[in-house]
Amino acid sequence: MNEKKSAVDRPWGRKFLGFSFTISKEPKIRIAKQSIQRMKRKVREITSRKMPIPMENRIKKLNQYLMGWCRYFSLADTELVFRNLDGWIRRRLRMCLWKNWKVPKAKIRNLIHLGIPKWKAYEWGNSRKGYWRIAKSPILDQALNNSYSSNQGLKSLRKRYRFLRHLS
């Protein structure tokens, strides 16, 4: 037997059908890094700033893909991964929305409409920071929070995972 090729004694170094295992006395199933990278690549395609599609269609495509992905990987014991991916996806959507607002005047108007004080809206609407950086800003995070995303129709990966795992 060739020990370099055999992974019987170290299953955490291998992936199988998108899953891998943790290193511990009681190994747990986790999502392989390559699977998460592939999922992020697909989400980047759907939430690309270059694609001029309405937000409703974008969210519909995202939900369709993410719910299937979540269903497949719900076997894994990694709730934290799903929570982190939820935040990352919402940030991608905030970035797309910021890009869609285009000009500072529209950004200011929309921020005020979302309940941000005028002076803060003016400050952030005229910011020269990039789309990805602005998407993480406290102002956009406050204006376009989790409830805003769920009202737009975005389904939460973490909630779906907890439902599928019967964790409530």
| 78-to-32, 34, 82 alpha-carbon distances in Å | 11, 15, 7
Tens of pLDDT, residue by residue over 10-55, are 555 666 677 787 777 777 888 888 899 999 999 999 999 888 889 9
Which one, of 167, 151, 164, 160, lies nearest residue 56 by Cα?
A: 151
Pull the structure tokens for residue 123: 């400050």
Span 58-62, mean pLDDT? 95
Give the residue, 8 or 138, on which the prediction is more confident.
138
Pull the structure tokens for residue 70: 């979540």
Q: Domains of the chain: which residue ranges?
A: 47-164
Tokens 């769920």, located at residue = 150
Span 105-112, mean pLDDT? 96
Residue 75: how many CB atoms within 10 A of its CB? 15
Q: Please check whether residue 21 is in contact with residue 11, taking contact to mean a CB–CB distance below 8 angstroms.
A: yes
pTM of the predicted model as reported, rounded to 2 decimal places: 0.85
Residue 116 exposed, middle or buried by CB count within 10 Å (0-12, 13-18, 19+): buried
Q: Can you give the pLDDT at residue 77? A: 87
Q: Please check whether residue 90 is in contact with residue 96, taking contact to mean a CB–CB distance below 8 angstroms.
A: no
Q: Can you give the pLDDT at residue 83? A: 94
- Please check the confidence at residue 9 and state whether its pLDDT lies above 70: no
